[in-house]
C-alpha cells in the first residue's frame, strides 16, 4: 500500500472569490461571504477549499496579477478575515489551499517598479528584459515573435530604459526571471509564510512556464498562425523546470502539503508526468489541458470545434493510464474559472436533461483515478451565460481583447463577427465567473445589496439555485455529495484502483472499469440523449449483473435490470 497520500483521498472545491458570496452589498464577493458558506461546503463533503487569488492586485486579470504577496485585496477583506476563514475550515475538518501566481507579478508590484526604473537597479534582473530588434527599414521590433495569451506580442517596450520586457499574459503581468536565484528565494519565502499561516498547500498558476529557453528563439514562421504565434515549445516545461520544481517540492514535503500545478500548452504527457511522479519530489498532481481544448477550433479557442466522445475517450484514457502506470497522479476537472460550464459543453442544458447531465458528469468524473476538483456552481448544475449577452456584458480581458482585435482586423465582416460572438458565448472564461446562484432572490441571493453584481447574474437562478438543491435529496448537489462519499467508502477501488476503458468504439457510452485486487467497479455514462441498447461485453456482464448498484442518476435503475447480454441505458444515464 505504498504511494498512498492524504491528498489523493481528498476532493477539492474551487472558489472564485469575486463571484462566490458578497457579504456587504458592494456587488463583489468577499471572504466574510465565504465564511458564511462553510457549512454548505461541509454538507457537500469536500476536504479542501482552493481560493482563486485574494492577494493585493490591480485586478487587470482578476487577481492573477499580484502586487503584494503579503497583503489581501481590500474588497475581499483583511488578513484577519483570512485567518478566520482558515480557522473555520479547520474546525470543520477542511483545509485551505492558496492560489500561488509566481510565473509573473503585476506591473504594480514593487519589484517591477524597481526593475523598470533603470538597467542598474538591483531588481533589474528579476524580470526578463531584452534589447529591441530593428528591421532593415529601422523599425523597432520585439526581441522575438512570441504572442501573449491575451492577444498581441508577448513583449512590451519600455521607453525609460529602451528595452522590452516579457509577458506571456497581459502587458500588466510581467514574467519573473526564475534564472535569478533571488527570485526563487523570494517565492520560497512567500510559500513558507502562507504555509505557516495555515495554508495546506498551493494551486500553482502556469507553473510549467517558469523556465524559458534562454536563447528566446523565434517560433519558426511555418508553425505560426499569425504575426505572434504561441511560443510554448520554448517555455512550456522548459529546460530548468524540474530543477525549480524540486526546490519547491522540498518545501512542500516539509509541511506534508498539497500541490497541484496548472500545466497548459504541453501535450507530451511524459513531461507532465515527471512533475508529478510520486518519488521525484516535485508536485502532487497537475491539471492537463488536452481535455479543455477538445472543443476548440483549428484556428484557436474562439473558432468552432465540436466535442466528440471518441476524443474524450482517448484523452481521458491516455492520462488515466500514464499516471496510474507510472506513479503519477491526475487532477480531475471539467470546470474552472477559465472555462465554459461542463453541462453546456459536454452534455445538455435542455431542462429535461440538465439535472441528469450534471449527475452523469459527476459520476463520470468523480469515480476516475485522481483527485476530483469541483468548481463553484458545478455542484448545482450552473450553465453557460445566456444567449442575450453582448460584448458590453463581458468582463474578461481575454474575450474583450480578442473581440477588439477581431473588429479592428476585419471591419464589416458581420458573418465572422456573429460566428465569433457565438463562440465567445460558448467558451469565454466569463462563463465560469457569473455569480454563484444561492437562491431565488434578487441577484440570485449572491449579494444582499442594491448594487448590481460586478458581472451577470445569469437568468435561470429562480429555478437553479443552491437553496432549493440542498434540501432536495434528488438534486445534483446531493448526488455530488453521494459520489464524494462513495469515493471515500471505497478508497481502494475508487482512489487507488486501476483504470480500464471498456467498449472503446461505442459512440454514445463512456464505460470504464476501476479495479483493486479482486474488486471491480464498472462506471457507465451515456453522453447522448438517446436510449441506448448496449450489448454488454462478456467480461463486464458478471460485474454488472452480480454486483451491487452503488450509484445511479435514474431512480428506476435496479441491479436486476443489469442482468442480461443487452441492457438499455437511458438518455444521460450514469451508474
Q: How far is the CB of 391 from ligand TEU (least distance, A)?
A: 18
β-sheet bridge partners, residue 526: 509
| 247 is annotated as an active-site residue | no
Bridge-based pairing of strands 68-72 and 55-56 is antiparallel
Q: Does 101 bind ligand TEU (CB under 6 A)?
A: yes
Q: Could you tell which of ligand TEU, Ca ion, none binds residue 100, using a CB distance below 5 to 8 A set by kind?
A: none
DSSP bridge partners of 426: none
Q: Which does 398 bind (CB under 5 to 8 A by kind): Ca ion, ligand TEU, none?
A: ligand TEU
Is residue 73 near ligand TEU by the rule CB under 6 A? no
Query: Does 261 contact ligand TEU by CB under 6 A?
Result: no
Cα separation, 364 vs 361, whole angstroms: 5
Judge contact between 318 and 336, C-beta under 8 A. Answer: no
Adjacent-strand bridge partners of 121: none
d(C-alpha 82, C-alpha 225), whole Å: 44
Binding mask 211-250 for ligand TEU (x = CB under 6 A): ----------------------------------------
With H, G, I as helix, E, B as strand and everything else as coil, classify residue 137.
coil
**Between 186 and 397, whose beta carbon lies closer to ligand TEU?**
397
Closest to ligand TEU by CB, 149 or 479 = 149
Q: How many CB atoms lie within 10 A of CB 223?
A: 11
What distances in angstroms separate CA 346 from CA 134, 299, 484, one per listed residue?
47, 21, 21
Is 47 catalytic? The answer is: no
Q: What are phi and psi of 501, to 5 degrees?
A: -80, 135
CB of 199 to Ca ion, least distance (A): 22
Site for ligand TEU in 114-153 (CB under 6 A): 149
C-beta of 386: minimal distance to ligand TEU in Å? 21
- Bridge partners for 357 per DSSP: none
Fill in the per-residue mask, 391 to 420: x = in contact with ligand TEU (CB under 6 A), - = not in contact: -------x----------------------
Q: Which of 92, 85, 106 is nearest to 47 (CA)?
A: 92
The partner in contact with residue 205, picked from ligand TEU, Ca ion, none with C-beta cut-offs of 5 to 8 angstroms by kind, is: ligand TEU
Q: Does 301 bind ligand TEU (CB under 6 A)?
A: yes
Pairing of strands 12-15, 371-375: parallel
From 47, 81, 262, 423, active-site residue:
262
Among 22, 47, 205, 335, binds ligand TEU (CB under 6 A): 205
CA 358 to CA 342: how far, in whole Å?
Answer: 8
Binding positions for Ca ion, 19-48, rule CB under 5 A: 22, 24, 26, 28, 30
Find, among 333, 369, 342, 358, the residue nearest to 479 by Cα: 358
Three-class DSSP labels, 423-476: HHHHHCHHHHCCCCCCCCCHHHHCECCCCCCCCCCCCCCCCCCHHHHHCCCCCH
Q: For the CB of residue 149, give the shortest distance to ligand TEU in the complex, in Å.
A: 5
Least separation, in Å, of the C-beta of 421 and ligand TEU? 17
List residues with catalytic annotation.
205, 262
Using CB under 6 A, list all residues that contact ligand TEU. 61, 64, 101, 149, 169, 205-206, 262, 264, 301, 337-338, 398, 429
Amino acid at each position: 500500500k505504498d504511494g498512498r497520500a492524504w491528498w489523493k483521498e481528498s476532493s477539492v472545491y474551487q472558489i472564485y472569490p469575486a463571484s462566490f458570496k458578497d457579504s456587504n452589498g458592494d456587488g463583489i464577493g468577499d471572504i466574510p461571504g465565504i465564511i458564511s458558506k462553510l457549512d454548505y461546503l461541509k454538507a457537500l463533503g469536500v476536504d479542501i477549499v482552493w481560493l482563486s487569488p485574494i492577494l493585493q492586485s490591480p485586478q487587470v486579470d482578476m487577481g492573477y496579477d499580484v502586487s503584494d504577496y503579503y497583503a489581501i485585496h481590500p474588497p475581499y477583506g483583511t488578513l484577519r478575515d483570512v485567518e478566520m476563514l482558515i480557522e473555520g475550515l479547520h474546525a470543520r475538518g477542511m483545509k485551505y489551499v492558496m492560489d500561488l501566481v509566481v510565473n509573473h507579478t503585476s506591473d504594480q508590484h514593487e519589484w517591477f517598479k524597481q526593475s523598470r526604473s533603470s538597467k542598474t537597479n538591483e531588481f533589474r534582473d528579476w524580470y526578463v528584459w531584452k534589447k529591441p530588434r530593428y528591421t532593415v527599414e529601422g523599425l523597432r521590433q520585439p526581441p522575438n515573435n512570441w504572442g501573449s495569451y491575451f492577444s498581441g506580442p508577448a513583449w512590451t517596450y519600455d521607453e525609460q530604459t529602451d528595452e522590452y520586457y516579457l509577458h506571456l499574459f497581459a502587458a500588466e503581468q510581467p514574467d519573473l526571471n526564475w534564472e535569478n536565484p533571488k527570485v526563487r528565494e523570494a517565492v520560497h519565502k512567500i510559500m513558507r509564510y502562507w504555509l505557516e499561516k495555515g495554508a495546506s498547500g498551493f494551486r500553482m498558476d502556469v507553473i510549467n512556464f517558469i523556465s524559458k529557453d534562454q536563447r528566446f528563439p523565434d517560433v519558426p514562421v511555418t508553425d505560426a498562425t499569425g504575426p505572434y504565434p504561441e511560443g510554448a515549445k520554448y517555455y512550456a516545461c522548459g529546460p530548468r523546470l524540474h530543477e525549480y520544481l524540486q526546490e519547491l517540492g522540498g518545501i512542500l514535503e516539509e509541511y506534508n502539503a498539497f500541490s497541484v500545478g496548472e500545466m497548459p500548452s504541453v501535450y507530451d504527457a511524459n513531461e507532465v508526468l515527471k512533475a508529478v511522479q510520486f518519488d521525484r519530489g516535485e508536485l502532487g498532481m497537475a491539471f492537463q489541458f488536452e481535455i479543455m481544448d477538445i472543443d476548440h477550433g483549428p484556428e484557436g479557442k474562439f473558432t468552432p470545434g465540436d466535442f466528440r466522445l471518441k476524443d474524450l475517450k482517448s484523452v481521458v484514457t491516455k492520462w488515466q493510464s500514464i499516471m496510474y502506470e507510472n506513479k503519477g497522479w491526475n487532477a480531475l476537472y471539467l470546470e474552472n474559472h477559465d472555462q465554459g460550464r461542463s453541462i453546456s459543453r459536454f452534455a445538455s442544458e435542455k431542462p429535461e436533461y440538465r439535472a441528469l447531465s450534471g449527475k452523469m458528469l459527476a459520476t463520470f468524473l468523480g469515480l476516475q483515478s485522481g483527485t476530483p476538483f469541483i468548481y463553484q456552481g458545478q455542484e448545482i448544475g450552473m450553465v453557460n451565460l445566456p444567449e442575450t449577452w453582448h460584448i458590453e456584458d463581458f468582463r474578461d480581458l481575454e474575450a474583450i481583447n480578442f473581440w477588439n482585435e477581431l473588429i479592428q482586423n476585419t471591419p464589416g465582416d458581420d458573418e465572422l463577427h456573429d460566428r465569433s460572438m457565438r463562440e465567445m458565448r460558448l467558451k469565454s472564461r466569463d462563463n465560469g465567473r457569473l455569480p454563484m446562484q444561492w437562491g431565488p432572490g434578487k441577484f440570485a441571493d449572491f449579494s444582499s445589496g442594491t448594487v448590481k453584481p460586478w458581472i451577470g447574474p445569469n437568468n435561470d437562478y429562480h429555478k437553479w439555485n443552491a437553496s432549493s438543491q440542498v434540501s432536495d435529496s434528488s438534486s445534483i448537489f446531493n448526488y455530488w455529495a453521494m459520489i464524494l462519499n462513495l469515493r471515500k467508502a471505497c478508497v481502494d477501488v475508487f482512489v487507488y484502483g486501476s483504470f480500464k476503458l471498456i467498449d472503446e468504439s461505442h459512440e454514445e457510452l463512456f464505460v470504464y472499469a476501476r479495479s483493486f485486487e479482486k474488486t471491480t467497479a464498472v462506471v457507465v455514462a451515456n453522453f447522448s440523449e438517446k436510449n441506448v441498447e448496449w450489448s454488454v461485453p462478456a467480461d463486464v456482464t458478471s460485474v454488472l449483473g452480480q454486483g451491487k448498484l452503488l450509484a445511479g442518476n435514474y431512480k428506476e435503475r435496479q441491479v436486476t435490470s443489469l442482468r442480461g447480454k443487452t441492457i438499455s441505458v437511458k438518455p444521460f444515464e450514469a451508474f
